[in-house]
Structure 1
Amino acid sequence: MAIKEDRELMTQLAHSTNILRELTDNESLKLKNVLLKMLNDILSLCNKHNIDIILVGGSALGAIRHNGFIPWDDDLDLGLSRADYTKFIKLIESGALGSKYEFTYPNNKTDSKNLFLKIFLKGSKNVEITDITSPFPKGIFVDIFPIDYALPPGWKNKIKGFISNIWAYLSVSVLFYQYPNKEYENFMCSNNESAKRFRIRKLLGKLGSIIPHRLWAYHYDSFIQHKKTDFLTIPSGRKHYSGETLNANIFFPSKKAVFEGIQVNVPNNIDAYLKNLYGHYMDIPPIEKRERHYVIDFMVND
């Protein structure tokens, strides 16, 4: 899948150019401390309103394998059932999370940085290369993914998964075209393979820009939703729609775990969930296969 390959290519480019930089150990520690404070605020709001929020992706892996952050990783991924996701968004739109945060998510009124909810801490910086010219917040962020009912595994699921992946790819292409960014273009054109992919994205973005990115994201979010079934998926997750389609009881009801000393919820059958994402998830990957995050600018107030 092109989206997965693009992520891997970005990681390769980050190692081979000096446009991006890794956080220092001290910066990474500061970032993780901020993320834990954000997590506590989010958990407090969810507990108050009976919202079952769970760790997903690398954060779920970190909770089980490391009892916290994966040592070389520094982000935070959370998931909500679609019903709780909608409820949570209504709460934060009403100001329930407080004035120190801002957020973006797919809707038909405002543009969104991603195809899922992101919560940003005001007054901080964690600037990714794709964000330099965009109007979106550029602070330290937490990702919150909707967990949607899905078609049962089979050809219908694969067709919907294929369409959702193409839709997501086109949406991101339009986003890049809508907010042109010379630094990102230079980065992507630093080798022939990535330059070719960038030119394809730019062409698709131009063709698709007849529809604003805001509507691409909004209608994608509508498309991935489905009536109740015995299966759930995280369509915008690591393995996308079909790759993350699992029996609903693997996700919910959630179970308790500990993350950096904080009691959190994780998928009910965490073993099956992590095996689906990572295979032998307790094995520590070699250094060259460890996913890192690279930034243009970083700042957090002490």
Structure 2
Amino acid sequence: MVDLKLIHEVQLGILANGYFVEENRLDPQFEYDFAKVMADGTRILEHGREETKARNGIFIDVFPFDRMPNKRNLQQSQQQQLTAILNEIRKRFYPEQYRGQVIDSKYSRLTLTDLYNSRFNLMTKYNGHPELTLANMSSPYAYGKEIIKPHELNQVITVPFENLQVPILKDYDAYLTRLYGDYMKLPPLEKRVQRHVLKVKVDNHQASAQAQPENNFEQAAG
């Protein structure tokens, strides 16, 4: 017997135990090319996304890693196209941020769905080449900085995290060092400030996973 309720929840990105997934294939109002696992019954206000219509709860990011071309001209082309597509998408959601800027984009005539599809196809264009380095193309860092080398991908170990056993890269030190340098050294005290999340609201986390957070932050915070 087909569980229609379960199918509907999967389509909405709802997970068990009060969590749900937000990404653009589930919600076109979510503009990014990665996913977020969010806590139901929570709301946040993010800098630069104050006007978002997507669900926006306390989250962890889930970044995809895709194959990166090894020729510099192909890397530059991919980077430039991904940036142009993201700018076009964000311009449609947050027009005030782009007011007065001249953006001559070949993507301006595409629908939002076409933009999402074009971006996905561009990100996965080289995935048929297992010898290529994997890169997080959704990374907030520079293109090609957050990478996993091919030989590292299949070498994993299991470590405890809370009450879970989680597989991670065996050579996690190399990955973290490439990304952060001396990642075990704390930054200066004056730099230990987060500027990403402006407000947080916890209404009733661990409530029914079917409950849908309101899109209006002020209403949720009231």
Q: Normalising by the residue count of structure 1, what TM-score does the alignment of the two structures yield?
A: 0.53
1:274 partnered with 2:192:
no
* Aligned residue identity for 1:118: K
Q: Offset at 1:128? A: 1.0
Whole-angstrom CA distance in 2 between matches of 1:105 and 1:164: 22
Q: Which has the higher helix share?
A: 1
Query: 2:82 maps to which residue?
Result: 168
* Aligned residue identity for 1:133: E
Distance 1:180 1:236, change over 3 A: closer
Query: 2:123 maps to which residue?
Result: 224
Distance 1:176 1:266, change over 3 A: same
Alignment of structure 1 residues 33-182 onto 2, 5 Å: 92-93=10-11, 97-98=15-16, 100-107=18-25, 110-152=28-70, 156=71, 158-180=72-94
Q: Offset at 1:108? A: 10
* Aligned residue identity for 2:15: L
Whole-angstrom CA distance in 2 between matches of 1:165 and 1:247: 19
Q: Is the 8 A contact 1:253 1:268 kept in 2?
A: yes
1:295 partnered with 2:213:
no
> Is the radius of gyration larger for structure 1 or structure 2?
2
Whole-angstrom CA distance in 2 between matches of 1:295 and 1:239: 18
Quote the RMSD (CA, aligned, Å): 3.4
Unaligned runs of 5+ in 1: 1-90, 186-197
Distance 1:94 1:126, change over 3 A: closer
* Aligned residue identity for 2:115: W
Equivalent position SS for 1:146: coil
Counting aligned pairs with the same residue, the percent is: 21
Q: Is the 8 A contact 1:149 1:232 kept in 2?
A: yes
Distance 1:118 1:161, change over 3 A: farther
* Aligned residue identity for 1:163: S
Q: Offset at 1:99? A: 8.3
Whole-angstrom CA distance in 2 between matches of 1:129 and 1:181: 15
Whole-angstrom CA distance in 1 between matches of 2:141 and 2:63: 13
Can you list the C-alpha shifts for 1:115-142, whole angstroms capped at 9, x where unaligned? 1112233321012133332221121122
Q: Offset at 1:270? A: 0.7
Distance 1:108 1:121, change over 3 A: closer
Q: Is the 8 A contact 1:176 1:205 kept in 2?
A: no
Whole-angstrom CA distance in 2 between matches of 1:95 and 1:113: 16
Distance 1:159 1:112, change over 3 A: farther
Paired residue total = 193
Whole-angstrom CA distance in 1 between matches of 2:26 and 2:41: 27
